[in-house]
Structure formats: structure tokens, C-alpha cells
Chain A
Amino acid sequence: MTASQKIWALHLGLIAVLFAAQYVLPPYHATNLARIMVLSIFAMGYNIAFGYTGLLSLGHALFFAAGMYGMGLSLTLLGWTALPALIAGLVAGGLLAGAVGVLALRTAGVSFMIVTLMFAQAGYLALLYFGTITGGDEGFNPDRSLRMIGSLDLSADTPRYLVALGLFALALLLCLWLVRSPFGRVMVAMRENEERSRMLGYNPFAIKLITLVLSGFYAGLAGAAYGLLFGYVGATFATIQYSILPMLYVLLGGAGTVIGPFLGALAMFYLIDLASGITDAYFFVVGAALVALVLFAPKGILGALRERGVRWLP
């Protein structure tokens, strides 16, 4: 097989396996998997910015929450139906990422991390401040009757799984196409050496802004889907913790790999699930995982595989 064939086999194979999984898995795990797939979309978006382009943001919770509230408020305030509301969420995530990017991309490195963190924090506080609209700390549950696409009831298990899988597949294939496109090559060039890329005629600011907006679309879509599929919209999703989460998934699965975010989300989700069976020290697991990852496996699972000879891995 050529590398290209292997790549397609791998990614389409993953989607096929996930499709089959719903018939095999007990409902508890199927619901978990639906959740993981949606969170993977978020992590894929984070990976586009961080893994491929080298933008280490600590503010992605803001874009996730923008998607979630963009969707949720479109349902409740504007009376939109689920599908347009989902798209509203997607757009909200991308637009906000663009707005933050225009400012934050004037900085780099540690300053970029702090600035994105600060913007996200301000966003979170704003959600609390406008509590009368957003439901503040408690958030709100969009009514079940609103969470329908046509006659498809998204709060029922099977449609929920299918929609999660559909969005996941779309996001995955798009990401695969993106990173193998000429633009993907430029993204990586930015990560590797911005100054050199500039001297090849690329405008770093523009490239990074486009990337961040793409990343924001992913985060927004994930947030909107999460709220729609699991029926809850809340300010907790705007906290710093939800900026750390996709970073954790990406680091674990392998930054700069297409499937890495999914693998990381899957592994982390079940690690926490397992750990919380033994102890309630959930944060300790997350913290220890972060430290262990940066120390011992900065390339993550797939990154390590790629170094050990599976070089065709996109």
C-alpha cells in the first residue's frame, strides 16, 4: 500500500469501527463514546492551533463556551431550530477566536498563553455577570422538544450517537485534508520556524489568525454539539479547566497527529472514569497526568509511534 492508501484506510477504518461500536457496546459506554467523540472535535481544533501551528492557547474554553451558548441562546432566545442553532454555535466559536486572535497574536509564547487565559477568564466572568440571560453559574437545560433535527430526537441514544459520529467523522476528515494540504505544510512551517517562513513569503500573523479561526470553528462546533446532545449549557464549560482539557488530550494522544486528539480523549476519559471508581481525587489524576506527560512523553502516544518508524502517520 502507498502511504496515502494507508492513511485513508486508517482513518476510514476508525470511523467504521466507531460506527459498529454502537451495536456492540452497552448503552453506558455508547453514551461515553458519544461524549468522547464530541470532546475529540474540541481537541482536534486545539490540535490544529497547538499541535500543527504551535499556538499554545490557554483560552480555548472560551470558544467552546461560545459555541455552546451560541447554540443554546439561539434555541431559547431566538427560537431557532436545532440545526441552525448548531451552525450559530460553530460560527460563534470561529468569530470569537478571530477577535481574540487579532489581539493575542500580537504576542507570542508565554505572553500569548497569558493573554488567551485572561480573555477566557473575562469571558467566563461575563457569563456570570449576564446571569439573567445565561443562567449564570447554574446554566440552563434546553428543552427536549427543542433538541430535534427534523423528527430526529437528539436526546435519544441512537440518534445522539449517530449525530456525534457524523460530526466527528466530518471533523476528522476535514482535519486530515487540511493538514495534508499545502496550507497544512505552511502551518507546520510556522510552528517550526516563524522567521524562516516569513522569508519564504508567508505572513505569520495572517497564517496564525486563519489557523486560530479554524480552531475556533472546531471548538464552537464541539461546544454547540455538546450542549445540544447532552442537554446542558453552563458556565463551567468556560472555566480554565476546559482549556486545559483539550491540551491534555492532545498531549496524551500526540500533538500534530490527526487521530491523536481522539486517542487522548478516549484514554483520558477512561483513566478518569477508572480513577474515580477508586478515589475521588479526580484532579490529582489530571494534574499527575499533565506532569508525567510533559516529563516523559512530550510527543504523546502517536508521536512516539511516528518516531519509532510509522512515519507516514499524518
Chain B
Amino acid sequence: MAPLMVAQDLHRHFGGLRAVDGASLSLQAGEIHALIGPNGAGKTTFVGLLSGRVPVQSGRIELAGEDITHLPAHQRVKKGIAYTFQITSVFPRLTVFDNVALAVQSAGAAGLDQQVATHLSRVGLADHEAMLAGSLSYGHQRLLELAMGLALRPRVLILDEPTQGLAASEIEGFKALVNGLAPDTTVLLIEHNMDVVMDLAHRITVLNFGQVLAVGTPQDIRQNRAVQDAYLGGHDAAD
């Protein structure tokens, strides 16, 4: 089966720093694909290239066979690529409702109130609708961020460290939620929590120094020597 999204040999340097240095990735439709790697490996920059936040210097990105390498970010969103920010970036001075409504109406759906309510209850924020987003706890802001991503009804949902700052119980809810997306939505998940990665991911790509170190199933990755040396190092895989 042809992959839904393909990135080939992407480069992005900041001055002398090679944040992304020839990385490639292919996403199969419907899979949950984890992107892991040590801090500063270039993960956020890499998905920035995919979502259009960061301009590509060289390489090629395709979505369902269409070249989107130079498409502006907002048009990629319209084509079905949604990105949730690593550094929480909701609209703090707008209500929770308005935050999600912005995403819903961007996806051009009818029945605004209804849809906002649906997405909020999926992440468990149904009764926070009228609050200002800025007054939510950090974990709840992360969940709101997730709701906004879902409300875009994307084909590819890119999640940048979504479980950071969530309580253990919320992480369980999150796993269930992402698992439920699987057939319709393709998920690219950047995650440090190895439990979450091993439980959710169908495939894993390991990034180091802006380059792909390994790709494979969770099994493969666990057993890969290079990965262990570079990334898992002395740590227990489930740190």
C-alpha cells in the first residue's frame, strides 16, 4: 500500500547547526508512528518541516502523492495535517470553547456548539467550556491543545510530547484516546515516555543529530544496538 505521507531527505540547518540533516520518514495510512530521540535530536524541527512551520531547505514532502514541500502551513492544515505544539500554545485569553471553536470552524463543519462539546468531552474537558484557557492547569491546557488538534479532523495528526505534564490517570485516558483514532487518523507521535511509545506505536523512528538512526517495530527498536548506545544508553528503556 502506498504510504499516506512521505518525507525524503529533509534538511534544515540553523547557521552551522544541522538540526535536521537528511532525515526521511514514511507514514502508512492509519498507523501510529512514534518519533523518538534524545533532546535536541531535531524532532520538533523535523515535524515543523512536515507541518510547514519551518521552511524546508532541501528535500521533498508528499501527502497522498501530492508534493507539498513548499505549501504554506495554513494550506497544509487544510489538506489535513494538524500539529499540536510542544510548548503549549492555546489562546490563553479566549475561552476553552472559543479555542476549540476556532479549530472546528477551520475544518468547515456545521453544528459548531455540538462539535465543540464532542471534542471537549473526548479529552475530558466538557465542563470547562466557559473558562479562560489561560486559567486551566498545565495538564488541562495540554488536553485542550489535543482537542484543538482533533477538532481539525486531520488525516495526519502530529503530537509533540503530548503527555508532558499529564497525571498518570490522564496518560491512561490519552492512550485510550489515541488508540481509538487509529483507523481513520494517522498519528505521528513525539514522546519521551517509553511506556506510552511501546504501548501505542505500530512503528518507531529514532532520530539522532538530525538523522534517522533506525526505523522499525517496537520489538526491533528495543533490540537495536545502535539505538541502545545512542539513546537508551544506560537507562532502562522505560524511564
Contact = CB atoms under 8 A, between A and B. Distances in A.
Chains A and B touch each other in the complex, with CB atoms below 8 Å apart: yes
Interface of A: 182, 185-186, 188-189, 192-193, 195-204
Contacts of B112: 182
Given A192-B91, A199-B53, A185 B83 contact: no
A199 B93 contact: no
17 contacts: A182-B105, A185-B101, A185-B105, A188-B94, A192-B92, A192-B94, A193-B91, A195-B53, A195-B89, A198-B73, A198-B74, A198-B77, A199-B82, A200-B77, A200-B102, A200-B148, A202-B106
A123 to B, nearest CB: 31
A192 B74 CA distance: 17
Interface in B70-112: 72-75, 77-78, 82-83, 85, 89-94, 98, 101-103, 105-107, 112
Interface residues of B, number: 27
Given A182-B112, A199-B83, A199-B85, A189 B102 contact: yes
Contacts of B91: 189, 192-193, 196
Contact of B77 (A185, A189, A193, A201): A201
Contacts of A193: 89, 91
B107 A196 contact: no
A196 to B, nearest CB: 5
Given A193-B91, A200-B148, A203-B74, A185 B51 contact: no
Contacts of B92: 192
Contacts of A202: 74, 106
B152 interface: yes
Nearest to B72: A203
B176 to A, nearest CB: 25
Contact of A196 (B78, B85, B101): B85
Contacts, number: 57
Contact of B94 (A182, A189, A204): A189
A201 B94 contact: no
A204 B73 CA distance: 11
B72 A200 contact: no
A188 B132 CA distance: 14
List 5 A-B pairs, minimum CB-CB distance, nearest first.
A201-B77, A201-B106, A182-B105, A192-B91, A203-B74
A201 B83 contact: no
Nearest to B79: A201
Contact of B74 (A182, A188, A189, A201): A201
A197 B102 contact: yes
A199 B160 CA distance: 14
Q: Which of B53, B91, B94 has the most CB of A within 10 A?
A: B91
A104 B185 CA distance: 40
A200 B102 CA distance: 7
A182 B101 CA distance: 8
A195 B98 CA distance: 17
Q: Which of A182, A193, A200 has the most CB of B within 10 A?
A: A200
B55 to A, nearest CB: 13
Q: Which of A182, A189, A193, A201 has the most CB of B within 10 A?
A: A201
Contact of B78 (A185, A189, A192, A201): A201
B72 to A, nearest CB: 7
B37 to A, nearest CB: 22
A7 to B, nearest CB: 16
Contacts of A200: 77, 102-103, 106, 148, 152
A182 B100 CA distance: 12
Interface in B172-227: none
A188 B90 CA distance: 13
A192 B90 CA distance: 10
A107 B89 CA distance: 23
Contacts of A186: 102, 105
Contacts of A199: 51, 53, 73-74, 77, 82-83, 85
A163 to B, nearest CB: 37
A203 B73 CA distance: 9
Contacts of B78: 201
Contacts of B106: 200-202
Contacts of A195: 53, 89
A148 to B, nearest CB: 45
Nearest to B89: A196
A34 B7 CA distance: 62
Interface in B124-175: 148, 152
